[in-house]
Amino acid sequence: MHIGISVNGQTKQVPAGHTVAALVHELALADQRIAVEVNQEIVPRSLYAARALHAGDCIEVVTAIGGG
């Protein structure tokens, strides 16, 4: 069974029980400096594996860009 979520404004289907960690891995962002927000609440990296996604969740992923 799949559920519908929104990732940076784009609708995406993921398996039921998907976690933030699985989504970050799927998006190939695991090795990057990012911030993840689920329903306008920042999820600490230490909780990515424990934070399950639910139908209708709105996820925003922001990557850090270095520079000076």
Q: Is residue 26 part of a domain?
A: yes
User: Quick one: tokens of 9?
Assistant: 């404004």
| Domain containing residue 18 | 2-63
Q: Is the pLDDT of residue 59 over 90?
A: yes
Whether 58 maps to a domain, the answer reads yes
Question: Would the pLDDT of 51 be above 80?
Answer: yes
Q: Which residue bears the tokens 């990296």?
A: 45
Domain presence at residue 43: yes
For residue 66, what pLDDT is reported? 73
Please state, for a pLDDT cut of 90, what percent of the chain lies above it. Answer: 91
Contact 21, 29 (CB under 8 A): no
CATH of the domain at 24: 3.10.20.30
Q: How many structural domains is the chain composed of?
A: 1
Structure-block tokens of residue 67: 């520079």
Stated pTM of the model? 0.91
Query: Is 44 domain-assigned?
Result: yes
Residue 68 domain-assigned? no
